[in-house]
């Protein structure tokens, strides 16, 4: 395991607000990209970005899709979560059954089950060497290093910096349509032990309520044995044994979506049992994700965010939050 040095969608009574954290003065707007100057020739990217600091309790994350055009235009549709807003988990409506985990409905971060992304940005981009620079009109800029894990099929974005407070991120892009996605059978059959690795930057607190960043890279994801549910919209599995297992689920964002959105949901049975519950209603882990799809429609994992905001331990406040960015991918 390689240990790394220590990287928006709000629903409040039905009102959506975009919060990008503290924003520095924007850089000068670059000239538009020339035709066919898209990074590695790719025009559709899934990205996860976070503004994470151990000195802050207003950390935020956003997850979305970035679309580029040959004339240098950029647009983004995304979801956003922040510690500033105490929101509860939401139901995807997807009921897990016969997939190894308890038969429970999959929950996700508040609002991710919506029919479409609530927040939108527009702007322009340039590519200089291996650096992608995006200027979001009225919302600052961000930069990524571009590489090609699958030349001609898939580009990877490594986060460099931003003017709006984002400091960690993951991204991948291709020219596959946004409607191209993996089936749950394909997800269950992926090489979870050797082919997919889990990199993450997660804000948490220790037993003394002191914030820290939990960060690591290179290991497989914790659960490596997945089974497709009886429905076509989820997979499940568990780790551990006896009275202390962890129940894992991956499902689509809702019961009708056909886009790249999935969500990862997990919780410990000992916590549910202590509350006399079969399906846990406490502070479970909710992790929205976007699928990584190459030009040929091949599935290579996800970029994602954790937005597990405290909803059932009021005395702990933000100390019971887990928030951050991650990828589960082949690269």
Q: Kindly state whether residue 2 falls inside one of the protein's structural domains.
A: no
- Whether the Cβ atoms of residue 218 and residue 197 lie closer than 8 Å to each other: yes
- Whether the Cβ atoms of residue 201 and residue 326 lie closer than 8 Å to each other: yes
Rg (CA), the chain: 19
Q: Kindly state whether residue 76 falls inside one of the protein's structural domains.
A: yes
| β-strand partners of 154 | 150
Per-residue model confidence as pLDDT tens digits over 140-170: 999 999 999 999 999 999 999 999 999 999 9
- 314 pLDDT tier (thresholds 50, 70, 90): very high
**Residue 29: other Cβ atoms inside 10 A:** 13
Q: Kindly state whether residue 3 falls inside one of the protein's structural domains.
A: no
Average pLDDT of the chain is 91
Instruction: Please tell me the total count of domains within the chain.
Output: 1
Tell me the residue range of the domain where 285 lies: 11-329
pLDDT at 195: 96
Residue 29 pLDDT greater than 50, yes or no: no
Average pLDDT for 301-311? 98
Q: Kindly state whether residue 229 falls inside one of the protein's structural domains.
A: yes
Average pLDDT for 91-105? 98
Residue 13 pLDDT greater than 50, yes or no: no
- 37 pLDDT tier (thresholds 50, 70, 90): confident
Q: Kindly state whether residue 139 falls inside one of the protein's structural domains.
A: yes
Q: Kindly state whether residue 4 falls inside one of the protein's structural domains.
A: no
pLDDT at 100: 96
Average pLDDT for 204-219? 97
Q: Kindly state whether residue 291 falls inside one of the protein's structural domains.
A: yes
Residue 35 pLDDT greater than 50, yes or no: no
Per-residue model confidence as pLDDT tens digits over 2-12: 333 333 333 33
pLDDT at 117: 92
Q: Kindly state whether residue 6 falls inside one of the protein's structural domains.
A: no
Residue 21 pLDDT greater than 80, yes or no: no
pLDDT at 193: 96
């Amino acid at each position: 395991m390689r240990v790394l040095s220590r990287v928006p969608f709000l629903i409040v009574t039905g009102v959506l607000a975009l919060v990008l954290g503290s924003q520095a003065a924007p850089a000068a707007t670059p000239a538009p990209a020339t035709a066919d100057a898209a990074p590695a020739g790719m025009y559709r990217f899934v990205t996860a970005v976070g503004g994470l600091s151990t000195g802050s309790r207003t950390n935020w994350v956003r997850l979305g899709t970035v679309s580029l055009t040959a004339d240098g235009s950029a647009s983004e549709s995304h979801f956003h979560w922040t510690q500033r807003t105490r929101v509860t988990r939401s139901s995807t409506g997807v009921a897990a059954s016969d997939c190894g985990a308890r038969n429970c409905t999959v929950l996700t971060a508040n609002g991710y089950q919506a029919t479409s992304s609530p927040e939108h940005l527009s702007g322009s981009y340039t590519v200089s060497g291996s650096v992608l620079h995006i200027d979001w009109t009225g919302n600052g800029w961000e930069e990524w290093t571009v590489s090609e894990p699958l030349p001609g099929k898939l580009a990877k974005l490594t986060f460099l910096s931003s003017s709006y407070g984002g400091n960690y991120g993951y991204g991948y892009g291709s020219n596959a349509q946004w409607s191209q996605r993996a089936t749950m059978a394909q997800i269950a059959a992926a090489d979870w032990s050797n082919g997919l690795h889990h990199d993450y930057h997660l804000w948490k607190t220790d037993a003394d309520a002191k914030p820290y960043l939990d960060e690591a890279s290179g290991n497989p994801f914790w659960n490596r044995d997945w089974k497709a549910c009886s429905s076509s919209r989820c997979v499940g599995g568990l780790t551990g044994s006896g009275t202390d297992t962890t129940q894992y689920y991956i499902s689509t964002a809702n019961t009708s979506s056909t886009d790249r959105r999935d969500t990862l949901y997990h919780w410990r049975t000992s916590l549910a049992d202590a509350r006399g519950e079969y399906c846990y209603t406490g502070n479970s882990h909710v992790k929205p994700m976007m699928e990584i799809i190459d030009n040929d429609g091949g599935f290579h994992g996800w970029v994602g965010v954790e937005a597990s905001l405290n909803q059932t331990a009021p005395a702990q406040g933000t100390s019971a939050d887990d928030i951050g960015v991650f990828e589960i991918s082949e690269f």
